[in-house]
Amino acid sequence: MPPATTTPARQEKSAPQRAMEKLGLVRDIDLALHLPLRYEDETKLTAIADLRDGMTAQVEGIITECQVQFRPRRQLVVKLNDGGDELFLRFLHFYPNHQKTLAAGNRVRVRGEARGGFFGLEMVHPGFKGVDEETPLATALTPVYPTSASLPQAYLRKAVASGLKRADLSELVPPALLPRGSWALKEALNFLHHPAPDVSLATLEDKTHPAWQRLKFEELLAQQISQLEAKNERALQRAPRFAVQRGGLQERLLAALPFALTSAQHRVVEEIAQDLQREIPMHRLLQGDVGSGKTVVAALAAAIAMHNGWQCALMAPTEILAEQHFRKLVQWLEPLGIQTAWLTGSRKGKGRREMLARVASGEAQLVVGTHAVIQDEVQFAKLGLAIIDEQHRFGVAQRLALREKLQAQSLEPHLLMMSATPIPRTLAMTLFADLDISTIDELPPGRTPIVTKVFSDAKRDNVIATIADEAARGRQVYWVCPLIEESEKLDLQNATATHEQLSAALAGHHVGLLHGRMPAADKTAVMDQFKAGAMQVLVSTTVIEVGVDVPNASLMVIEHAERFGLSQLHQLRGRVGRGSVASVCVLLYTSPLSDTGKSRLKAMAETQDGFEIARRDLEIRGPGEFLGARQSGAPLLRFADLNEDAHLVPPARAAAERWLASEPQRARQHVARWLGSKAEYLKA
Ligand code: ADP
Ligand code: MG
């Protein structure tokens, strides 16, 4: 790769240069791969007489009038005549040099959208340039690039054009690996930057054009190679090898459980056990719908590690969730003689120091806590297995930090990540190509399906009456308050007001309140009361989103359901229907609700399949938001769209495997071309 053509370090960089760097436009190839968002057609002129309201077009003529008017705002009003008809141009912001170019008698070429104005057809703030009769029209469509405020389009256009000329666009990918009929890279890039005027703009805009297909394939290929490389690198690392023995801790735990595993649970435990018996670090994602029973699978994996004399860490995103896990694991494992430790941010002072010491000495075999605490502060004597719950909240950077911390011990720990947000297969293949995936696709028996109902907020009183009925029958109810992302304070006000309203309406019942700002001890106290059945209604902000397990809860009301993502609603809904009683989830929305809003909530009522919901969610929101931008890798996929281009993923994957096996150097060159310095990050 030739060195980047940037200015020498000591020379001041101009604002546009700095802006280009921010956009990652450093090397010639970066510029060549910076593709247009859309195009403007400056290859033809339209006669003013042919302009219609709403039409975007280019016209050329002589200025007949140029005046600053006050009507009522100060503005520049220009009259243009093309020999046939007249067009008004209006500028609300203008500078002296604009007035110079637009002076009466000058010939100008103007491009903009025609609108029916007060005086007839006009263009407001059109693009314009002074021309003479000889000035040629553009021969290709004019690209419009994604840019930022401090980087003018014209500057970027020039930079891209010259980057494109200089960049080495030789074919790296062996033709046999390309989909049949692929365009050459150079041809595709030249075309996309400067398409011929007769091309169908629709195929360019929806990126179905063969030139786009080639680039998307290139991009996915780079991504797949870099992930496969990460996987191969991991295969060179060493992890402790665990023996799975008859009569071992794992079997004793299994025998002590109050239920039999589902066959799906058996299968995934077996997959994990296979990994743990190898000296290559496990890197597995365990996905299973809410309530599918992932915790016990985690406990069985931990049992294997601990039986072999290694420590195990289990991390959860919130204290409540960590505590839930902790209690369950203690209940299962302490009778079998396992020493546990419990660590979260709110645990301070002497108790904390003692815990840390027990972990450092190896006395505590199982350590449960929040992600942050375990990563930042805990030293392990002998960590063999790290289990991370709700992996979708766990960023790439955090995964890296965890690995680095544990590398101090020459061996890598095995890693098990768990997620209740099922990741559709193509997305998993694309973004987590270096992860092995186990899926629990079956719920434990005896669950009654949850009935989901969608009501307008106008029915609030009826809903409250239903709550009273449920409470009278000894059942428990969750009321989830709206999520207002901008303001935790507003969340709180809302939850507090609802709490008051329900307390008043449900006199004689205990209505509790749980929110993110409460001290951990108070949260625990509230949860304890709810779990023990001493509280009938729990009003809560989204802190109960994951993992809370109260089988007697039979009704959940979600207020402002339209503000939640589908997967989030599904997670929330999974808090009920955990016991044998018939459960109901009420989604309250506030009118007016858009059509998409309605169909989204309808989808929730129609299906209980987490995968189906995840798929619809992905369609509606796109992968970045779906997974949380942090770890979605979305900025790394600029062109390929995981919905529309799913068909390109398997061939890209296959090509990556073949290429890495046959020509690893060249395959890496391809990655460097596409990802540059981002490749490392992607491997995390
Ligand atoms: P999740 O996958 O959402 O984390 P949990 O691990 O919390 O699910 O399990 C949900 C509930 O189902 C828990 O009460 C758990 O003890 C119970 N459970 C798990 N596996 C089984 C099973 N095979 N049979 C019956 N109940 C089970
Ligand atoms: Mg769970």
CA 264 distance to own-chain centroid: 28
pTM over 0.85: no
What pLDDT, on the 0 to 100 scale, is given for residue 412? 83
Task: Kindly give the number of the ligand 1 atom that is closest to the alpha carbon of 260.
Answer: 23
Whether the per-residue pLDDT at 677 is higher than 60: the answer is: no
Task: Kindly give the number of the ligand 1 atom that is closest to the alpha carbon of 440.
Answer: 2
| Contact indicator for 447, 281 with CB cutoff of 8 Å | no
Cβ-proximal residues to 131 (8 Å cutoff; 6+ apart), any chain: 60, 107, 108, 109
Ligand 2 center to residue 66 CA distance, Å?
Answer: 70
Tally the C-alpha atoms within 13 A of residue 189's C-alpha that lie toward its C-beta. Answer: 23
Ligand 1 center to residue 259 CA distance, Å?
Answer: 9
Ligand 2 center to residue 324 CA distance, Å?
Answer: 9
| Contact indicator for 499, 540 with CB cutoff of 8 Å | no
Ligand 1 center to residue 2 CA distance, Å?
Answer: 56
- Among the listed residues 648, 624, 662, 587, the one whose alpha carbon sits nearest the alpha carbon of residue 223: 648
Q: Are residue 367 and residue 255 in the same domain, yes or no?
A: yes
Whether the per-residue pLDDT at 544 is higher than 60: the answer is: no
Domain limit, last residue, from 591, 607, 623: 607
Number of residues assigned to the chain:
684
Which tens digits make up the pLDDT trace of 578-601? 777 789 999 999 888 887 788 888
DSSP H helices in 362-419: 371-377, 396-407
Starting at the edge strand found earlier in the chain, the sheet holding 311-316 runs: 340-343, 366-370, 311-316, 383-388, 414-419, 283-288, 436-440
Domain limit, last residue, from 116, 144, 172: 144
Whether the per-residue pLDDT at 621 is higher than 60: the answer is: no
Q: How confident is the model at residue 679 (pLDDT cuts 50, 70, 90)?
A: very low
Q: Are residue 497 and residue 594 in the same domain, yes or no?
A: yes
Q: How confident is the model at residue 323 (pLDDT cuts 50, 70, 90)?
A: confident
Distance between CA atoms of 298 and 474, rounded to whole angstroms? 33
* CATH code, domain with 317: 3.40.50.300
- Among the listed residues 292, 278, 211, 206, the one whose alpha carbon sits nearest the alpha carbon of residue 547: 292
Ligand of minimum distance to the alpha carbon of 292: 1
Ligand 2 center to residue 546 CA distance, Å?
Answer: 7
Q: Are residue 434 and residue 455 in the same domain, yes or no?
A: no
What pLDDT, on the 0 to 100 scale, is given for residue 232? 82
Q: How confident is the model at residue 465 (pLDDT cuts 50, 70, 90)?
A: very high
Percent of the chain at pLDDT > 70 equals: 87
What pLDDT, on the 0 to 100 scale, is given for residue 402? 61
Distance between CA atoms of 218 and 656, rounded to whole angstroms? 10
Task: Kindly give the number of the ligand 1 atom that is closest to the alpha carbon of 574.
Answer: 3
What pLDDT, on the 0 to 100 scale, is given for residue 620? 62
Q: How confident is the model at residue 37 (pLDDT cuts 50, 70, 90)?
A: confident
End-to-end Cα spacing for the chain: 24
312 or 639: which leads in pLDDT: 312
Nearest CA to ligand 1 atom 19: 293
Q: Note whether residue 631 is domain-resident.
A: no
Q: Are residue 69 and residue 93 in the same domain, yes or no?
A: yes
Q: How confident is the model at residue 487 (pLDDT cuts 50, 70, 90)?
A: low
Task: Kindly give the number of the ligand 1 atom that is closest to the alpha carbon of 298.
Answer: 6
| Contact indicator for 193, 162 with CB cutoff of 8 Å | no
Mean pLDDT in residue range 384-393: 77
Whether the per-residue pLDDT at 484 is higher than 60: the answer is: no
Ligand 2 center to residue 295 CA distance, Å?
Answer: 6
Q: Note whether residue 549 is domain-resident.
A: yes
Percent of the chain at pLDDT > 90 equals: 41
Q: Are residue 503 and residue 575 in the same domain, yes or no?
A: yes
Residue 185 vs residues 51, 52, 77, 200, 208: alpha-carbon distances, Å: 39, 39, 47, 20, 16
Whether the per-residue pLDDT at 628 is higher than 50: the answer is: no
Ligand 1 center to residue 663 CA distance, Å?
Answer: 47
Task: Kindly give the number of the ligand 1 atom that is closest to the alpha carbon of 324.
Answer: 7
Cβ-proximal residues to 419 (8 Å cutoff; 6+ apart), any chain: 285, 286, 287, 390, 391, 392
Q: How confident is the model at residue 182 (pLDDT cuts 50, 70, 90)?
A: very high
Mean pLDDT in residue range 398-405: 58
448 or 484: which leads in pLDDT: 448
Which tens digits make up the pLDDT trace of 119-146? 788 999 898 999 998 999 988 888 988 8
Mean pLDDT in residue range 286-295: 88
DSSP string spanning 84-140? S-EEEEEESS--HHHHHHT-TT-EEEEEEEEEEETTEEEEES-EEEE--TTPPPPSS
Q: How confident is the model at residue 268 (pLDDT cuts 50, 70, 90)?
A: very high
Q: Note whether residue 518 is domain-resident.
A: yes
Strand partners, 385: 312, 414
Task: Kindly give the number of the ligand 1 atom that is closest to the alpha carbon of 546.
Answer: 3
Q: Note whether residue 556 is domain-resident.
A: yes
Q: Note whether residue 107 is domain-resident.
A: yes
Q: Are residue 551 and residue 508 in the same domain, yes or no?
A: yes
395 or 442: which leads in pLDDT: 442
Q: Note whether residue 276 is domain-resident.
A: yes
Q: Are residue 319 and residue 406 in the same domain, yes or no?
A: yes
Whether the per-residue pLDDT at 658 is higher than 50: the answer is: yes
Q: Are residue 460 and residue 420 in the same domain, yes or no?
A: no
Mean pLDDT in residue range 245-269: 94
Cis omega (within 30 of 0) on the bond before 335? no
What pLDDT, on the 0 to 100 scale, is given for residue 167? 95
Give the highest mean pLDDT range of 18-32, 71-85, 157-171: 157-171
Q: Are residue 254 and residue 327 in the same domain, yes or no?
A: yes
b (16+ CB within 10 A) / e for 394-421: bbeebbeebbebbeeeebbbbbbbbbbb
- Among the listed residues 173, 183, 167, 415, the one whose alpha carbon sits nearest the alpha carbon of residue 283: 415
Hey, which of 268, 285, 296 would you mutate to test ligand 1's pocket, going by the most ligand atoms within 8 Å of its Cβ?
Answer: 296
What is residue 421's DSSP assignment? S
Cβ-proximal residues to 70 (8 Å cutoff; 6+ apart), any chain: none
Q: How confident is the model at residue 311 (pLDDT cuts 50, 70, 90)?
A: very high
Number of domains the chain contains: 3
What pLDDT, on the 0 to 100 scale, is given for residue 684? 39
Task: Kindly give the number of the ligand 1 atom that is closest to the alpha carbon of 578.
Answer: 11
Q: Domain containing 57: what range?
A: 39-144
Mean pLDDT in residue range 199-212: 85
Hey, which of 261, 267, 287, 292 would you mutate to test ligand 1's pocket, going by the most ligand atoms within 8 Å of its Cβ?
Answer: 292
Q: What are phi and psi of 180, to 5 degrees?
A: -55, 135
Q: Are residue 324 and residue 296 in the same domain, yes or no?
A: yes
Cβ-proximal residues to 253 (8 Å cutoff; 6+ apart), any chain: 299, 300, 303, 332, 333, 336
Nearest CA to ligand 1 atom 4: 294
Nearest CA to ligand 1 atom 9: 293
Distance between CA atoms of 223 and 134, rounded to whole angstroms? 48
Ligand 2 center to residue 292 CA distance, Å?
Answer: 8
433 or 293: which leads in pLDDT: 293
Distance between CA atoms of 609 and 25, rounded to whole angstroms? 43
Nearest CA to ligand 1 atom 16: 293
Hey, which of 266, 315, 549 would you mutate to test ligand 1's pocket, going by the most ligand atoms within 8 Å of its Cβ?
Answer: 549
Domain limit, last residue, from 566, 582, 607: 607
Report the chain's mean pLDDT, rounded to a whole number.
84
DSSP H helices in 152-244: 153-166, 185-193, 201-205, 210-236
For ligand 1, residues with CB inside 6 Å are 259, 261-262, 265, 288, 290-296, 420, 444, 549, 578
Using only the alpha carbons of the chain, give its radius of gyration.
Answer: 31
Nearest CA to ligand 1 atom 12: 293
Ligand 2 center to residue 288 CA distance, Å?
Answer: 9
Q: How confident is the model at residue 546 (pLDDT cuts 50, 70, 90)?
A: very low
Mean pLDDT in residue range 205-233: 88
Ligand 1 center to residue 296 CA distance, Å?
Answer: 7
Q: Are residue 270 and residue 405 in the same domain, yes or no?
A: yes
What pLDDT, on the 0 to 100 scale, is given for residue 45? 93
Q: Note whether residue 29 is domain-resident.
A: no
Task: Kindly give the number of the ligand 1 atom that is closest to the alpha carbon of 295.
Answer: 6
Q: Are residue 429 and residue 459 in the same domain, yes or no?
A: no
Q: How confident is the model at residue 117 (pLDDT cuts 50, 70, 90)?
A: confident
